Amino acid sequence: MTRHRFFTRFYLGFIFVFLYLPLLVLIVYSFNQSRYSTNWTGWTLHWYRSLWDNTLLLDAAVNSLIVAGISSVTATAIGTLAAVAFYRYRFIGRKVLYSLVYVVMMSPDIVMGISLLIFFMLVGLPIGFQTLLLSHITFCLPFVVVTVYARISGFDPRVIEAARDLGAGEFQTFRYILLPLLMPAVVSGWLLSFTLSLDDVIVSFFVTGPTFEILPLKIYSMVRLGVKPEVNALSTVLFGFTLIMVTLSQLLVKERKR
């Protein structure tokens, strides 16, 4: 009994160390005085200060947040409606369309990036903010559809019929029955989109240009010249941000449940 428990504890601990030790190292080293990140010379907030002064980097961060914010909200809205449509209506090509959602999700980022680039060139859209936003919406969309659809297909269809029976039109059924019941899936779909958009490198690499720089690409170009402690500081800030987001969304879902 106790040995068994000891083993499970140990195992769990091991997994957490495996997952979080690299992050921890990164966080600790963001406070390191040394310019060369491998040897420890003492605590400092210097890199955070210099990060704050690095307007190029900050601009890129703001751009990233803007793109992630808009694209995740848009993808969530479209994706939720799409999932509801897949569930509620029987139309020709429904199955094919749903399979295509998976195709988009599974296709390698590099293929996605190149094909989007070619598409934008064909329609004559200049590479920049618009194209980046469109691309992010595109690759986030399937994740929302799949997340929401998974939940909706577990519903008792009679519940929706009951709403109709009691006098609710299509919109009211969506607003008062479907949406509240789908909320946890919608929130997690949105969160997934937000993080996917925030840390995308490969697709973004193809579909944005110097007119609109985003954080992952900026970091990528910085580390090609060696990892500066500034990057550590930035990553720590980003990590903290993600942590707050996740906690917030979990709380939101909990709140709904009660």
Partner 1 sequence: MSRAVVQLQHITKTYDGLAAVDDLSLEVFAGEFLTLLGPSGCGKTTILRLIAGFEAPDRGDIRIDDVRVNALPPNRRDVNTVFQSYALFPHMNVFDNVAFGLKLKGLQRNAVAERVRDVLEMVQLGGMETRRVTQLSGGQQQRVAFARAVVNEPLVLLLDEPLSALDYRLRKEMQLELKRLHRQLGITFIFVTHDQEEAITMSDRIIVMNQGRVEQSGSPKQIYEEPANLFVARFVGEINTFDGSVEAAGADWLTVRIHGTDFRLVNKRGFRSGDPVKVLLRPEDLQIQKTEPADGKPSLAGAVEELIYKGSTVDVIVRLTDGKPVYVTEFFNENAAYIFYERGQKVWLRWIDRWEVVLPDA
Q: Which is nearer to partner 1, 22 or 180 (CB)?
A: 180
Give min distance, CB of 193 to partner 1, in A: 24
Among 13, 180, 209, 240, binds partner 1 (CB under 8 A): 180
Among 9, 94, 164, 254, binds partner 1 (CB under 8 A): 164
CA–CA distance, 140 with 194 (Å, rounded to integer): 8
Does the CA dihedral 91-92-95-101 come out positive or negative? negative
Contact between 94 and partner 1 per CB under 8 A: no
Transcribe 30-53 into DSSP letters.
TTB--SSTTS---B--HHHHHHHH
Contact between 167 and partner 1 per CB under 8 A: yes
CA–CA distance, 83 with 181 (Å, rounded to integer): 13
CA–CA distance, 183 with 190 (Å, rounded to integer): 10
Q: Which is nearer to partner 1, 18 or 89 (CB)?
A: 89
CA–CA distance, 33 with 53 (Å, rounded to integer): 17
Give min distance, CB of 185 to partner 1, in A: 13
Among 177, 196, 231, 233, binds partner 1 (CB under 8 A): 177
Contact between 175 and partner 1 per CB under 8 A: no
Among 23, 24, 162, 244, binds partner 1 (CB under 8 A): 162
Residue 209 DSSP symbol? -
DSSP alpha helices (H): ranges in the chain?
Answer: 2-29, 46-53, 55-88, 94-106, 109-123, 129-152, 157-165, 170-173, 179-198, 202-207, 215-223, 229-257
By CB under 8 A, the residues from 20 to 79 that bind partner 1 are none
Evaluate whether 163 touches 141 at the Cβ level (below 8 Å): no
Among 26, 27, 77, 168, binds partner 1 (CB under 8 A): 168
Q: Which is nearer to partner 1, 126 or 169 (CB)?
A: 169
Q: Which is nearer to partner 1, 4 or 158 (CB)?
A: 158
Q: How many CA atoms are closer than 13 Å to the CA of 241, on its beta-carbon side? A: 15
Among 69, 169, 209, 240, binds partner 1 (CB under 8 A): 169
Among 6, 176, 220, 241, binds partner 1 (CB under 8 A): 176
Note the residues at the interface with partner 1 (CB under 8 A). Answer: 156, 158-159, 161-169, 172, 176-177, 180-181, 256
